[in-house]
Structure 1
């Protein structure tokens, strides 16, 4: 059994003239220009994003795991953002593989890949909104910050964010599936011709995409999923960040601190990078969602797909910049990072020239490493703007 474009089931061995008027059939748009663009963007641009995102977010997680404990709400948010971004970039190679070749990893892997992509997307964006709210409370509502910015509250909020991201991703887990594209076989066969008699047919092509058995459900889900991604995954965080950072800039400009200009530049950099990376892609996604069920020429459809293919990596680039904007910009975090590099260098020298290190030297190194991990005197948040 196969699924037709309106969601109904039909037998591939039946005569197609029972379901369609063959003279009125039009082949799907080939999107040749978009396919050529994907062949360039997929392997190269996504590889760079994956490598940079993996290195940056791994360093943040490594710092929290071995050199700095989470002591504040800000630390909890930053650690969870790094985890979400790391899981996100690790899924990129499989997403590129799904775009460029036939999916051969089964239905379960398809659902897990697309579902985890959705969860990490929502959680990462919402956690950035939480960071802006945390900074708003710390600077604008400083008198109440000690009561509202506790470590337990931070962990609770992060748990709620992850649970909510999983909840809104349920349709993605459920409706994504692996299946064979039925129209590939359909358009390669003549009327009444059986697949086994067609000597020029290509091997079956499998995809990991939405699959529906009902046309009404298909229309609802194909509008609801990107609509939710736009509303919850972009416009809501954008509104929260816009309000919080505007109030922060106003408060900082009133302060008589000689470092206020540096803090304002940091805030502006966070906002500008967020908008530049995410706004173009989400605007194109909004246009595609609105025009999804309206008639378009193949050229217009191909142009929209090219825009999505080009602008999507720009949105993904934000995962690489988050460690720089939110973690490495802090002086104390940079000190921890320098300590990581120094300790890794010492460990490398130890294993490269083991005979030069005596047992006493090794014990002194381990003792100093423990003091560097456990002897931190940071109080409160170590990530100030």
Structure 2
């Protein structure tokens, strides 16, 4: 049947099914991988490594928001390192093996859950700092004492939710039962040898019951924990923050714009992909025309790329938007410039001198910083 999900060959009560050709989605996916994903990896790596360097050498984590920002930068770094390896393997038939398939797909899943949960934690900390300002010092001091426990809980939950991905993702060649041409003389399919190179890293199940269960459970968990939960927390916390700021003086209106920008970017990046994922989950086991399958896959590919952009924007929205964090960033650029000049002038830059120089810079920056101040100032 034209434009059906599959092409059927019928012979003596044996039906062989040919898969749909994903012409449009495959073409767009190849272009996105080469161009857009490369830009995402470069910008995401630069932005997040600067955040990590800032906290490692120039700025101590003085508040829970700082702790969350550092952990979120680490989570995004895991993603921008894993993404080019995933792209490489997809182009080279996953020649790094089944272990790499599980690790890389698992790394993406861990980043997804940990990043989203940390965004919810940041919004909660902002709510305590602004809405509960009278009690915020005591509350946030207590939370800071247990900061490592909070972050450890987030990472543990992310790892736990990623277990199905690690277990059921595998490297394999799709079965030839669904790829080939009919051999009418032998009442069988002639294997399509070209498909032997079409190695994939995807879900692989031993029985249909497990397949049905996990292919519903995994995207449903991703929607619930990886999008709707942080969206609800951010919506509640930032709505209360905006109401509180609007009751304050006029100078706080800039902070309202910052909050609106944070929420708008989150929704713009993640809502399209999660709507597509929700639709795909609902119609997953329904018969679809080939054109519909291609369009759905195309939408999923494009919206997933838009969601990837968030790892590049996180350092801008949550780090460099703060005045004190920008000052630390300027010191990094100045130090790198000075170190470059020293190298060009063939002057030795001993380890002791380097440590003394960085230590002095840290003291010079922290000297005017409030010990309890957060990078994400409003």
TM-score for both structures, normalised by structure 2:
0.90
Aligned-residue offset at 1:194: 9.3
* Gap change, CA 1:72 and 1:198, over 3 Å in 2: closer
Residue of structure 2 equivalent to 1:287: 279
Aligned-residue offset at 1:87: 0.7
Residue of structure 1 equivalent to 2:360: 371
Matched, 1:213 2:202: no
Distance in 2 between residues matched to 1:101 and 1:193, nearest whole Å: 34
1:98–1:207 Cα contact (<8 Å) kept: no
SS at match of 2:146: helix
Distance in 2 between residues matched to 1:200 and 1:225, nearest whole Å: 32
Residue of structure 1 equivalent to 2:346: 354
1:73–1:155 Cα contact (<8 Å) kept: no
* Gap change, CA 1:193 and 1:45, over 3 Å in 2: farther
SS at match of 1:381: coil
SS at match of 2:374: coil
Equivalent residue in structure 1 for 2:37, among 40, 43, 46: 46
* Gap change, CA 1:183 and 1:222, over 3 Å in 2: same
Distance in 2 between residues matched to 1:184 and 1:310, nearest whole Å: 30
Aligned-residue offset at 1:206: 1.7
1:111–1:176 Cα contact (<8 Å) kept: yes
SS at match of 2:288: coil
Residue of structure 1 equivalent to 2:3: none
Distance in 2 between residues matched to 1:58 and 1:358, nearest whole Å: 23
Aligned-residue offset at 1:44: 0.8
Equivalent residue in structure 2 for 1:303, among 295, 301, 309: 295
2:17–2:179 Cα contact (<8 Å) kept: no
Measured against aligned partners, the alpha-carbon deviations of 1:133-178 in whole angstroms (never above 9, x if no partner) come to 0000000011221222132222211110000111111111110111
Task: Mark the runs of 5 or more structure 1 residues left unpaired by the alignment.
Answer: 1-16
Aligned-residue offset at 1:100: 3.9
Distance in 1 between residues matched to 2:273 and 2:362, nearest whole Å: 41
1:56–1:320 Cα contact (<8 Å) kept: yes
Residue of structure 2 equivalent to 1:272: 264
Residue of structure 2 equivalent to 1:5: none
* Gap change, CA 1:347 and 1:206, over 3 Å in 2: same
Measured against aligned partners, the alpha-carbon deviations of 1:2-39 in whole angstroms (never above 9, x if no partner) come to xxxxxxxxxxxxxxx99x943x3231111111111111
Which stretch shifts more, 136-145 or 197-206? 197-206
1:1-385 maps to which residues of 2 (within 5 A)?
21-22=13-14, 24-150=15-141, 151-183=144-176, 186-188=179-181, 190=183, 192=186, 201=194, 203-256=196-249, 258-355=250-347, 367-374=356-363, 376-377=366-367, 378=369, 379-383=371-375, 384-385=377-378
* Gap change, CA 1:68 and 1:43, over 3 Å in 2: same
Aligned-residue offset at 1:203: 4.2
1:57–1:323 Cα contact (<8 Å) kept: yes
Distance in 1 between residues matched to 2:154 and 2:248, nearest whole Å: 33
Task: Mark the runs of 5 or more structure 2 residues left unpaired by the alignment.
Answer: 1-9
Distance in 1 between residues matched to 2:194 and 2:356, nearest whole Å: 68
